[in-house]
Structures are given as C-alpha cells and as structure tokens.
Amino acid sequence: MISRRLFLTGAAATATALTYPAWGSALSPRASASAATCELALENKSLPGNVNAYVTGHEQGTDQWVLLRADGSVYHPQSPSAPQTPLPVDCAIPLKAAGAGPVTLTLPQMYGARVYFVRDDTLDFFLNPGPALVEPAFATAADPNYGRTWSFCEFTFNPDQLYANISYVDLVTAVPIGLSLTGDSDHTVAPLPDGAVDKIAADLTTQAGKDGQPWDKLIIRGSDGKVLRVISPQNLMASASPGAMPFGDLWTGYVDQVWEKYSSTDLTIDLQGGKGSLKGRVSGDTLTFDGGHTFTKPDSKSIFTCNDGPFANNPGDPDDKKALLARIAAGFNRSIMLTHPSQPNGTTAADYYQGDVTNHWARVLHANSPIGYAFPYDDVVPDGQPDVSGAANDGNPVRFTVSVGP
C-alpha cells in the first residue's frame, strides 16, 4: 500500500498527500499556538444501516500510536510479543442512524492520523512489536478487511494547525466522506456525489477498451458483483508480480517526446511563493535546471507514485529541488509537459488530461467528483486558480466534523 500519511511539523509546512511537502502554497505561520484539543464530530448524514468509525494516529509530543474510543478515552497500544497480534481493545465508535446527528469526542493533537468509516461491519486492526499499528489493507485480498465496505480521510492536528484532506490517491469507495472545519473561519470539503463510484468504474472500463491499458483492473467488486472500491494505478502496480508490471509501457513514448522537445527549448518551472523560476534543458538522458538540479527520464511507476526514480522524495534535498519535483510530476500526470513549456502558471484545469497518454485515473476521478487528491501532487495549483485537492486547514480549530454520505 502506498503511504500517504500527513506528517506536518511546522506552521509553514505545506501539506500534501505524501510525507513530504508539495511546495505549493505554503501555510502562513501563526503568532499563537492552537489549543491542545478541539471537538471532533463524527456523523452519518445519509447512509442506511450501521456505520462504525475509528480514529488512529500518532500522539503529538510522544509519537506513540493512539486510537480514540467511543467513551472518549485515548487508547495507547502496548508492544505485543508477536507480529499481527489482534488489537486487544475495541476501538469502534458507533455512529448514530442516518440524519440523527453526530457523535462528539474530544480530539487531542495527533499527526499522521486517519478517520475510518465502515458500513454494516467492523474493522480489524493488528499490532506488531514496537508497537506498530497494522491498519486495514484495501488492495490485499488476504486482509480480513478486504471484502468490507470502508474508507478513510487523513488529518494532522499539531500546535500550529489542523490540516485534513479527502484523498483519492489510493482509492475511492461507496463510503463518501465530507469535511467541515470551524475555527478562525469555516472550511468545507464536499463528499463524492451519489453514484460517483459506479461512474468512475464505468469510465475506466471504457478507457481500457480504448487504449488496451489495464484501467479496468483498478475496479474491485464485492461478492454481489457491485463495485466495492476502485484503487489507483500505483496500488495496482504495487501488488503486481515481478516482470508483470501493469502500465509499464504507458508513458514511454510520451516521455521520449518530452525529452526531445526540451533538448532544444527551455522548460521553465515557476517555484511559486516568491521563489522565482528555474529553466531546464535536456542533455542526453538528463534534464538539468539552473542550480544543477537534475532529473533522469521517469517511467510509469515514477509518474503514478510521484515517489520513485527521478521523483523519489529525499528529505535532504534542497527546497528548490522539491519544488521542481512536485511541479514536474504534476505536469506529467496532467499531460501538459508538451503543451506548456512554462509551468504551472499559464495553465488551468481545462488544460489537464487532454492527451491520449495521461493519468486517466485522475481525469476520470476529477470528472466525477467535486474535489479531492487524485495523485500525490494534485495540490500544485497555478497562481490564482482554485485548489482541486480537497484540503481544509485552520490555525485555531474549534470543531472538526467528518461525515459520511452524499
């Protein structure tokens, strides 16, 4: 499973679906720290049947794994004697019936956190020595949670802010999640519309028939034949056997064209945030920018994951390199590398995904959802253009509502 946890440690850190900043629009530092807690409201707006929630994360200050319980207490799991030990405490938080209002808890500061929801069932969590929490796996058929209908959102609540996002970097399911954050101002992120998951599955099946790529293999159906979830390309690639990499040749011709284009013309990347622009040219197999930052040719895995090969996220890289990486990776996923030699400014969402070779997962998802991360650097936004990544943040959070149902 591709790790996408949010680990924010400073007020100026830029949140992203990876554990490294996307270096888009940085959050402003605050003069005062957030409160130690805020109210967490968990609500079933419209789903029939029973819904259970789970809240997991790392405790701010101690880095220990913590889970919230239905009685409002905070559970600190202890290191087990053996791997894959079932979580010994019930941490399910039953929600009220659809439309009956929220269950409210006190949320302590925690990072790399998730809120899970599961319909008409519970989720199994396990512990490895450490302790390390083993969370549900959606692309592993052997996982006991595989056949259940569940999803999650991510958040980090630290001394500077509460940041949350609805991320579809890994999957979409028939458990649509919405966010509402109240603090210095109000922030709302809409859930997937009713029926969107079935439309996404249908569109990907159509695309597979057009280009012969395994877009239809992203669809996982339940025992009743209905769409259980749709996983992203990088998760299909992660579960593939050696020598049988899906989408392995998808980007080859496109990347060759990009390298040829920028061997004779400049690729200009605006780092944004007042950091200026850098120009790059290809020589041989290497794209080199002002300042000496270099990128080799990416392949399908590099482009879909945004965290492999030339796009590997190295914490020690300088900020300029990270900013270049985010914008180039976004440019490939959106297939604007040939059409826009200056990026990301000068583009709009209407320019994205227009090529035959593109991230059709991201294209189809954005066509069927109002907002949400479709790939790890979907928060790269041209100056003055609306954000499409589905994030909410506030430096003085008072109430954080996470709901299910369209």
pLDDT in tens, 283-318: 999 999 999 999 999 999 999 999 999 999 999 999
* Average confidence (pLDDT) over 216-233: 95
**Is 1 a residue whose pLDDT tops 80?**
no
Give the three-state DSSP class for 82.
coil
Give the three-state DSSP class for 223.
coil
Strands (E), 60-149: 65-68, 74-75, 85-86, 93-94, 103-108, 110-119, 126-128, 132-134
Handedness of CA 300, 294, 344, 369 (dihedral sign): positive
Q: Rounded to whole angstroms, how far apart are CA atoms 134 and 372?
A: 25
Lowest mean pLDDT among 9-13, 161-165, 300-304, 316-320: 9-13
Q: Rounded to whole angstroms, how far apart are CA atoms 113 and 40?
A: 13
Q: Rounded to whole angstroms, how far apart are CA atoms 4 and 186?
A: 25
DSSP label at residue 45: S
CB atoms near residue 74 (< 10 Å): 16
Q: Please give the structure tokens belonging to residue 353.
A: 């995904």
Q: Binning pLDDT at 50, 70 and 90, where does residue 271 land?
A: very high
**Is 239 a residue whose pLDDT tops 90?**
no
Give per-residue pLDDT as tens, 98-116: 999 999 999 999 999 999 9
* Average confidence (pLDDT) over 147-170: 94
pTM: 0.89
pLDDT at 69: 98
Give per-residue pLDDT as tens, 122-147: 999 999 999 999 999 998 899 999 99
Give per-residue pLDDT as tens, 28-69: 334 456 789 999 999 999 999 999 999 999 999 999 999 999
Query: How much of the chain exceeds pLDDT 70, in percent?
Result: 92
pLDDT at 398: 97
Distances, alpha carbon 157 to alpha carbons 18, 29, 77, 103, 399, in Å: 16, 15, 20, 19, 12
CA end-to-end span of the chain: 26
Among residues 393, 391, 385, 163, which one has the least CA distance to residue 270?
A: 385
Q: Binning pLDDT at 50, 70 and 90, where does residue 6 land?
A: very low
Give per-residue pLDDT as tens, 352-395: 999 999 999 999 999 998 788 999 999 999 999 988 888 899 99
* Average confidence (pLDDT) over 228-238: 94
Q: Rounded to whole angstroms, how far apart are CA atoms 110 and 140?
A: 27
**Is 25 a residue whose pLDDT tops 50?**
no
**Is 7 a residue whose pLDDT tops 60?**
no
Query: How much of the chain exceeds pLDDT 90, in percent?
Result: 84
Give the three-state DSSP class for 136.
coil
CB atoms near residue 38 (< 10 Å): 21
Lowest mean pLDDT among 16-25, 231-240, 251-260, 303-312: 16-25
